[in-house]
Structure 1
Amino acid sequence: MSLNNMTHEELQKLIAEAVRQTLVQMGADPSNPIEMQRDFQHLRQWRRAGEDLRSKGMLTLLSIFITGSVALFLVGLRDYFGK
């Protein structure tokens, strides 16, 4: 049977089975879509938490660098004018 000779219903069944098999191979349970949605929501939360941690970490490192640079500059000024 070629795709040209298939009815719309047969094609829909073929596609639905292919999607179901793909989900099963990925470890998802296609019979429980609400549980799958919760799993994807959990993954999204982990991803966002990782992105937030990365951006806050970079801001913290930048702040430490700037504070250290300013402190070094001020100590240098104090030593230069203090002696």
Structure 2
Amino acid sequence: MEMTEAEVKKVIHEVLEEQGKTHDELVLKTIAAILTSFGIDEEDRKEVRADFVHLRKWRKSVEQAQSYTFKAVITVIATGFVGAVWMGIKTALGK
């Protein structure tokens, strides 16, 4: 019995589709096992998500504070430099 090209393609497609399902199920089971080993139950998904949201907010606020601190330091240095130059000019013209 000889198969047509279309039948061969159909069989190949079905096998690949089944392997994809098996692969997806295996990945989900592996991820669930890893999370469970860290003490995260499947029922705690909402709380874990909320924890990650909180961590992201915390990280962004820390990054923003670092940015403001950097800007403040640059401003203080620039102001000090301009003040020193001004004092130098004032002293040079005053003599």
RMSD: 2.3
1:14 maps to 26
- Offset, 1:64: 0.5
1:66 maps to 78
Q: How is 1:3-82 mapped onto 2 (pairs within 5 angstroms)?
A: 10-82=22-94
| Structure 2: stretches of 5+ with no match in the other structure | 1-15
- Offset, 1:57: 1.0
Secondary structure class of the residue paired with 1:31: helix
Instruction: Output the TM-score relative to the length of structure 2.
Output: 0.68
| Structure 1: stretches of 5+ with no match in the other structure | none
* Larger helix share, 1 or 2: 2
Instruction: Output the TM-score relative to the length of structure 1.
Output: 0.77
Identity of aligned residues (%): 25
- The change in CA–CA distance for 1:27 and 1:59 in structure 2 (over 3 A counts) is farther
Tell which structure's C-alpha radius of gyration is larger: 2
1:40 maps to amino acid: F
